[in-house]
Amino acid sequence: MNDLSYTSLINNTLEMYLQGEYSKAYDFITENSSKVNGNLAQIYNFRYCIAIKAGFNELSLQIMKEAIVDKGFWYSYEYLNNDEDLMPLHDNELFKELIQICRNRQAEAIISTKPHMKLFETTLDTKGKRSLIMALHGNQENIEITEQYWNTNCTRGLLLGLVQSSSIDFSDAYIWNDVEKGAIEIQQHYNHIKDIYDIDITNVIIGGFSAGAATALYSVINGYVPAKGMILFGPWVPDIKKWEKQLDQLKEKKVKSYIVCGDRDEECYECTMQLVETLKEKEIEYEFIIIKGLKHQYPDDFDTVLESALGFINKS
């Protein structure tokens, strides 16, 4: 894995942007965009928005045209019309043409996008029941980003299912804004795996990042998927107070939770702490790891953290 991950690139760029360092942010994401594996459409989006803030309106239009016309990407029509960064372009004829292209592609994508799962059969022993891990991406991410982390030495010898939402926000960017819909999709994927493989239903682990972690949690506490453990990275759980009653299922079914969050995760640190406090109050078994200096992203030593998580969940 590169020293600079895709999520780090986005987070560091956003930090410069929020500090008003627009030229610095533009140069940073432009110079490093080819060094990461992630959603190129998102990178283009950051570049053309930040270019406007830096005062480069013509450059912004060139980048947007390259993204939409040359690369074939699309962005939400509503977003392009309402984002304040893009207001200076609203009277431009090329901008009007580009957002109309996006409007048409968005309508097609919403109809055609389906639930998707990429399954890795890494076990060499075909005898006996299979252990399963299912992992979910964060909002505006996809399977390819998830695979960079979860398809690792720690998951060798297991069935690994990487799940992608059917709800799409823009090109190659999927979201879990409807947790019940997401839970139903996870259940469908789980049932599909059971139809193909002899699954050990007592040895299923589900996890994910951010909104994907929240959807994983929701699917377990509401009985969509049986799990003996969950691995939640930076869980975005703003509705955790509404889920208090369902959380009792974790204690009743003896589900272990391994939760990881950075102390600089401005999006999820507070709600993660609320989740941990609730688990503590209910005497539900969990392990909580706070990583100093980590923003809203996977830790750099993901393999090590995942190994510890699996050890905690699998410990008798």
Instruction: Please indicate, yes or no, if residue 1 is contained in any of the structural domains.
Output: no
Instruction: Please indicate, yes or no, if residue 217 is contained in any of the structural domains.
Output: yes
End position of a domain, from candidates 60, 86, 112: 112
| Total tally of structural domains belonging to the chain | 2
Instruction: Please indicate, yes or no, if residue 10 is contained in any of the structural domains.
Output: yes
End position of a domain, from candidates 96, 112, 128: 112
Residue 107, pLDDT score: 97
Same domain? 30 vs 147: no
Residue 173 reports pLDDT greater than 90: yes
Residue 2, pLDDT score: 47
Same domain? 246 vs 272: yes
Nearest to 132 by CA among 186, 212, 183, 213: 186
**Residue 129 pLDDT class (50, 70, 90 cuts):** confident
Parent domain of 15: 6-112
Average pLDDT rounded to a whole number, residues 54-59: 96
Give backbone dihedrals phi and psi of 76, rounded to 5 degrees, phi first. -55, 130
End position of a domain, from candidates 88, 112, 136: 112
Residue 163, pLDDT score: 98
Residue 108, pLDDT score: 97
State pLDDT tens for residues 260-300: 999 999 999 999 999 999 999 999 999 999 999 999 999 99
Residue 156, pLDDT score: 81
Average pLDDT rounded to a whole number, residues 159-165: 96
Same domain? 296 vs 159: yes
Radius of gyration of the chain (CA): 21
